Amino acid sequence: MWPQARARGVSRAIFDQAFAGVRLNRAVLKPAGKQAEFVKPIWSYLTNSVSPRRISQGREHARRWNDTLANIERRYGVDRYVVLAIWGMETSYGGFTGNQNVIRALASLAFAGIREDFFRNELLTALVILQQGHVSARQMTGSWAGAMGQTQFMPTSFVKYAVDYNGDGHKNIWTHVPDALASTANYLARFGWQRGITWGYEVVLPRNFDYAAHDPRVNRPFSYWSSIGVRRADGRAMPTSSSAAIMLPAGRHGPAFLMTGNFKVIKEYNRSNAYALGVAHLSDRIAGMGPLKQSWPRKDKPLSKSQVMFMQRYLNRHGYKAGKVDGRVGENVTAAIRDFQLKRGLVADGYPTQALWRTMRNSR
């Protein structure tokens, strides 16, 4: 790695200091591909993520950091409660920021061939951060994947979006909370957060809702949703401006949501719908709103990873563009399932059920 590090301006002294005593860390190889937001049923994930303790701690931190959060919200235009929720989701408000040596973790992942190019680049960028003096090699700790600090920035995200909020010359996302919160707000703002607009709402669909006519990838004005009988689950009035798309994270038998463009911005932090909904709902609860009104289909058995992979292969083989076969239900899989349902005359909610899996298995 030395020639590549040198080409990025890293000194030999910093390089040697960073790699002193570094050996392969097999422990970081085990969590790869097992993130809870991708493998747990969404209702289980939300129960753990938006817990009473996390809500109460979020409200305490909202009071403690009120002035800082207000200034960050004015400066970047990002909802303070969403920033708080990301902090809570990522590290339980700094309760656990990760205890892995970032250089060792990234080097181990790259060496093991797990997304080698990605982790090799993150490793080189981490060395640049050390060269810039924002943190020492000993203090550069983080998650098994190399995510760092109070709100878990990967090294490349740190370089692009971290800010020095207090002007001391260091972007200290590890121990300085204002730097970390401002960096998170800057990240969301740079990805297009719309000032003054929420992430979305839980809604109740009319009995005659036409699933086939409403692509979850297409935003429509809130006035349109009101005109066809969609209403907010909390009984409040729909906004008169902006637009949103429908989202059914557990299909037609679970809660429904209208998501604005800001929900997609949250997903730039983590591509999982479950994670983004966790941040969104936690932000509402910290702000004083109530729990979700509608029930999850907890009796429905979620598909196993192998079943999802079968479904992905089946959809790809039949031209539905489900994307990489990885056992994760993301946007591509949801869209492909919806297209399959439309073609088969099924209710097009995009949700992978056991019945749908059996339909595909029996039609090979």
At 139 the pLDDT is 93
From 1.10.630.10, 1.10.530.10, 2.40.50.100, 1.10.490.20, which CATH number describes the 35-95+160-297 domain? 1.10.530.10
- Domain segments of the chain: what residues? 1-30+98-148, 35-95+160-297, 305-362
**Looking at the predicted structure, is the pLDDT value of residue 153 above 70?**
yes
Q: Please report the pLDDT score of residue 128 as a whole number.
A: 98
pLDDT of 321 reads: 92
Spatial CA neighbour of 281 closest among 74, 9, 101, 84: 84
User: Measured between alpha carbons, how far is 91 from 19 in angstroms, rounded to an integer?
Assistant: 26
pLDDT tens, position by position, 323-360: 999 898 888 999 999 999 999 999 999 999 999 999 99
Q: Could you tell me the pLDDT band of residue 296, with boundaries at 50, 70 and 90?
A: very high
% of the chain at pLDDT higher than 90: 90
* Rounded Cα gap, residues 103 and 81, in angstroms: 32
Q: How far is CA 172 from CA 147, 156, 357, in A?
A: 14, 15, 48
Instruction: Let me know if domain 1-30+98-148 sits in CATH 1.10.8.350.
Output: yes
Q: Which residues contact 245 (CB under 8 A, 6 or more apart)?
A: 215, 216, 217, 218, 219, 220, 258, 259
Question: What's the pLDDT score for residue 231?
Answer: 97
Averaged confidence pLDDT in the chain: 94
DSSP character for 29?
G
User: What's the Cα-to-Cα distance from 82 to each of 78, 148, 189, 292, 356, rounded to whole Å?
Assistant: 8, 19, 12, 17, 35
Name which residue leads in pLDDT, 78 or 271: 78
Beta bridge partners of 209: none
Q: What is the mean pLDDT of residues 220-225?
A: 97
H-type alpha helices, the chain: 2-7, 12-19, 36-39, 42-49, 52-64, 66-76, 80-91, 102-111, 116-132, 155-161, 177-190, 222-227, 261-267, 273-286, 305-317, 331-344, 354-362
Q: How many residues does the chain have?
A: 364
Residue appearing with tokens 């990885």? 326
Give the pLDDT of residue 179.
98
User: Mean pLDDT, to the nearest integer, of 178-201?
Assistant: 97
What distance in Å separates the CA atoms of residue 178 and residue 276, rounded to the nearest whole number?
A: 22
Q: What would the pLDDT profile of 28-71 be if each residue is shown by its tens digit?
A: 888 765 555 556 789 999 999 999 999 999 999 999 999 999 99
